[in-house]
Amino acid sequence: MSVELRSVTKRYGDYKAVNGVSLHIEKGELFVFLGPSGSGKTTLLRLVAGLEKADEGKIILDGTDVTSLPPSKRNVSMVFQNYALFPHKTVLQNLLLPVEGDRDALSKVRDVAAKLKIDDLLDRYPSSLSGGQQQRVALARALVKLPRLFLMDEPLSNLDAPLRFSARHLIRELQRESGITTIYVTHDQGEAMAIADRIAIMNRGRIVQVGAPEEVYNEPTDQFVASFIGYPPMVIVDSVGVRAEDVVLGQGERNGVVKDVEFMGDRYLVYVSEGEKEIMAFSRTKPKIGDNVRFSITKFFKFEEFRAH
């Protein structure tokens, strides 16, 4: 299902939680809404689901204007951060709900349960499951009816780091195999870049850039995007942005002092001060705090707002 948003605005009182958003999501895309807390991601997702009503603009699914249709008429399925499983129903009963009344309901549920490796949990209650198991059940419930649009609101945020890692791989695989258009909300730029076909970066209710992960990483249109995408965040020195990976330590025309060192597993992140300025760089070897180092910067990012200077 394709998704089109035309100048969609949602107000809470005077505040525009979503401010004139226009967007086109292709059929079969895994599309991510990425932005800091409060930027309007969840509100935008809920508008697409029909759980919120737009004050202005249009929402068009597969060419049909659904702006005033209720969620049940939109053929979308949503996975929430807290999974929203019914606590007094077993896993099996939770999974049967979306296909209630279908003749082959049980076989559909068994297929999805096998796929997500939760077949041995069907008689359990959600409260007796781990976070990762609940997350699989929630995904299974959303998939059982094969929606035409899959909406996921931070579905991995309650999981520990290894589980997040395997679960995002699972989501990516499920999405690729099923080809179901998916909108995925996260505030985690690493997760967004790992999972997305395309990313919309949001700030204060607006979309500030849309592009493939490589595009937003390599060609951020403004300082906000630049400092939000990539880890460690880009630093701004002398009105230009510098990424740690573009700093070469140990040689070059610049002189600095090592201020701090973080171990990152395969390398070290080194904080280097040059007078008042501080940049970050990677190093294979561990420098000593207080050492003098030479360095050079191989790439600078310039943004619109600075070009005038």
Ligand X SMILES: Nc1ncnc2c1ncn2[C@@H]1O[C@H](COP(=O)(O)OP(=O)(O)OP(=O)(O)O)[C@@H](O)[C@H]1O
Q: Closest CB to ligand X among 53 and 299?
A: 53
Number of H helices, E strands in the chain: 9, 16
74/187 with CB nearer ligand X: 187
Q: Measuring CA to CA, how many Å separate 24 from each of 6, 31, 210? A: 9, 10, 10
Distance of closest approach, residue 93 Cβ to ligand X, in angstroms? 29
Instruction: List the structure tokens of 191.
Output: 């997760």
* Cβ at position 32, least distance to ligand X in Å: 12
Check residue 252 and give left, alpha or beta (phi > 0: left; psi -120 to 50: alpha).
left
Nearest to 3 by CA among 160, 166, 173, 181: 181
173-179: Cβ within 8 A, 24+ apart: 174/115, 174/139, 174/143, 175/30, 175/150, 178/143, 178/146, 179/28
User: Which of 41, 243 has the CB closer to ligand X?
Assistant: 41
With 0-12 CB in 10 A as exposed, 13-18 as middle and 19+ as buried, what is 157?
Answer: middle
Shortest distance, position 116 Cβ to ligand X, whole Å? 25
Between CA 59 and CA 50 the distance in angstroms is: 9
Note whether 237 and 277 are within 8 A (CB).
Answer: yes
In whole angstroms, the minimum distance from the beta carbon of 295 to ligand X comes to 36
Type and span of the H or E element at 273: strand 268-274
In this complex, which beta carbon is closest to ligand X, that of residue 18 or of residue 96? 18
Chain Cα centroid distance, residue 56: 25
C-alpha angle 280-286-289 in degrees, rounded to nearest 5: 70
Give least dist CB 42 to ligand X, A: 3
Nearer to ligand X, 42 or 182 (CB): 42
Q: Tokens in use for 259?
A: 């201020």
| Rounded distance between C-alpha atoms, residue 258 and residue 252, angstroms | 15
Phi, psi of 132 (to 5 degrees): -65, -40
> Between residues 81 and 90, which has the closer beta carbon with respect to ligand X?
81
Nearer to ligand X, 37 or 72 (CB): 37
11 or 254: CB nearest ligand X: 11
Residues that bind ligand X (CB under 6 A): 12, 17, 35, 37-43, 187
Q: How far is the CB of 34 from ligand X (least distance, A)?
A: 9
Least Å distance, CB 48 to ligand X, is 12
